[in-house]
Chains A and B, each alone.
Chain A
Amino acid sequence: MDTLPPHDEPTDDALVKLVRAGDESAFERLFERHRARVARVAARFFPRREQIEEIVQETFVKAYFALDSYAGAHAASFAAWLSQIAVNAAYDELRRARRRPQHAEQSLTEDEAQHLGARLDRIVSSDEDIESALVSRDLAAKLLARLDPEDQLVLTLLDAEGHSVAEIASLTGWSASKVKVRAHRARASLRRVLRKYL
């Protein structure tokens, strides 16, 4: 757990106070404590190293300028607050990525489509245990990239991170009902995408 400092170390809230008072080195200490956590959040959404680093950088920059809005009361809340910023930064990047012309290049090549079709076909016809089946990370990421950013976000938080609806609502700032509706639509979209390759 990278958020719990030793007894003689200042708490996150104390470091935040120091940063507010103008001590820049306190922010570096906060970064040291939480960088692994933020990088893990980013890595759930993006496979490439440069994308993950971009999210990490953006998260800490946003956190720095938003420190005045942080109203922490207990030790874990800074980590939760930072995770919220990281998820939002990832969501922004997913939307930006969709608008870029390179996004079209992310579509599956013919070979990849054939490989995926055969893989899924085998799972379906042989009644193979889906959970034990393997799909390469790149291929899976390309499939997910065909969904809306909101769908990607909610499915990743639900299925990869294992968050509850309430937790996702808290992380994204959406209402619980919006998360449920979004999750329902996201699953339907993913079903449509998968059917294309079956």
Chain B
Amino acid sequence: MFGKEAHKISDERLDRMGRLVVRSAASSAEEEADAVAASPFLYTRIAARIEERRRKRQDEGWLTLLAVAWRAVPVMAIVAAIASALLLWVGVSGATSATNQLGFEALSDTRGTGVVSTVLSDNSQLSHDDVLQIVVNRDETESHK
């Protein structure tokens, strides 16, 4: 009963056969199941497997940590190098501006609004003597008048 004839059998009938096959495959399962459930040392084997899995998980935990560290070290090194470079660069440029600022503050006179402030406001490289000379000259000029 091959070929076309096989197709004549209704799907419904084939489904019933299919159910029979499924039920047959699962038949007398209770006997086998009970035999397995009653087998001695079953729990001992389960406990051993639990222990083994637990150890494996712990090892995997360490390995994961190592893997993270392995990947993190180069990244951290790069970040540290960039941070050092930035620190150096900021340090050098900061020192230059700090020198200028110190000179400016030392020479400026916040109490007066006269020549000294005007002269120093353009950040010129006048020495203390120059400033003193300018002030003295101005006083002399005024006294001659």
Contacts and interface: CB of A to CB of B under 8 A. Distances in A.
Given A40-B33, A57-B49, A120-B17, A137 B25 contact: yes
Nearest to B39: A53
A123 interface: yes
A161 B7 CA distance: 29
A170 B53 CA distance: 28
Contacts of B47: 24, 28
Range for the number of chain A residues in contact with chain B: 35 or more
Given A36-B33, A61-B50, A141 B25 contact: yes
A110 B100 CA distance: 101
Main secondary structure of the interface of A (DSSP, over half): helix
Contacts of B72: none
Contact of A140 (B25, B36, B50, B53): B25
A144 B7 contact: no
Nearest to B22: A159
Nearest to A48: B32
A124 B13 contact: yes
B23 interface: yes
Given A43-B33, A53-B36, A195-B6, A61 B20 contact: no
A194 B49 contact: no
Nearest to B32: A43
Contacts of A47: 25, 32
B26 A194 contact: no
Contact of B50 (A49, A64, A190): A64
A121 B5 CA distance: 11
B30 interface: yes
A172 B10 CA distance: 31
B9 interface: yes
Interface in B1-26: 1-2, 5-7, 9, 11, 13-26
B7 A195 contact: yes
A189 B9 CA distance: 15
A129 B9 CA distance: 15
B25 A194 contact: no
B9 A135 contact: no
A56 B46 CA distance: 9
Contacts of A191: 11, 14-15, 18
A79 B25 CA distance: 24
A105 interface: no
Interface of B: 1-2, 5-7, 9, 11, 13-30, 32-37, 39, 42-43, 45-47, 49-50, 53
Given A139-B24, A144-B22, A156-B22, 14 more contacts: A28-B43, A31-B46, A38-B37, A39-B34, A40-B30, A45-B26, A49-B32, A53-B39, A56-B46, A61-B53, A133-B20, A159-B19, A190-B21, A198-B1
11 contacts: A32-B43, A35-B37, A36-B37, A123-B17, A130-B16, A130-B19, A130-B20, A139-B24, A155-B22, A156-B26, A195-B9
